[in-house]
């Protein structure tokens, strides 16, 4: 067997084992209680469409960012540009860096990303909600898409897209 084939097999096997082990004992109750936001049964976050994708307003440690709503993304991904802006504003420190991880991107290739902690993620402004200490990955490419995915959506009871009213609906039960 070629060395490249062995390394590829090891990476795929490791990712598969980690993925399967993370599917097990999830909390049945999401950690975000939307009832504390208002009396409504849901929180509606308007989206805009840019280049065929849905974009929602998000604040990362106070930095306003338009993020791609991506239900196919397992986590939250930022580019080095957002991290540079957070550093410049004094809203990101060396202590927020958690390490590195391998990620599989849409084309199937494996890339190395830096794992970071975002202390506060505010989704949807004054009528939205705030999540604390959200893990994200940072792509080294400053032009990489900025995406919000399932690691954030899994923190609420239900998420759906309302294409008629052009909003993402976060529901509470």
Nearest-angstrom CA–CA distance, 59 and 47: 14
Q: Which residues are 130's β-sheet partners?
A: 122
Q: What is the mean pLDDT of each run of 10 residues along the chain (173 residues)?
A: 47 40 42 53 89 93 93 88 91 91 79 90 83 89 87 85 93 69
Model pLDDT, residue 7: 47
Q: 27: closest CA among 134, 131, 154?
A: 154
Which H/E stretch holds residue 168? strand 167-171
User: Taking the CA of residue 137 as centre, how many other CA atoms within 13 Å lie in the half-sphere pointing to its CB?
Assistant: 21
Model pLDDT, residue 171: 80
Tokens of 116: 């970071």
């Amino acid at each position: 067997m070629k060395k490249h084939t062995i390394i590829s097999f090891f990476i795929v096997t490791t990712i598969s084992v980690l993925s399967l082990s993370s599917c097990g004992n999830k909390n049945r109750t999401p950690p975000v209680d939307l009832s504390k936001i208002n009396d409504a049964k849901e929180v509606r976050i308007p989206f805009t469409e840019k280049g065929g994708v849905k974009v929602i307003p998000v604040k990362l440690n106070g930095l306003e960012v338009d993020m791609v709503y991506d239900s196919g993304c397992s986590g939250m991904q930022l580019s080095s540009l957002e991290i540079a802006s957070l550093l410049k504003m004094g809203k990101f420190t060396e202590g927020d860096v958690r390490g590195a991880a391998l990620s599989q991107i849409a084309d199937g290739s494996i890339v190395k990303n830096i794992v970071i902690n975002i202390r506060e993620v505010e989704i949807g402004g004054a009528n939205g909600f705030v999540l604390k200490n959200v893990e994200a990955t940072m792509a080294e490419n400053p032009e990489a898409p900025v995406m919000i995915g399932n690691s954030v959506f899994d923190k609420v009871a239900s998420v759906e897209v309302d294409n008629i009213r052009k909003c993402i609906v976060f529901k509470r039960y």
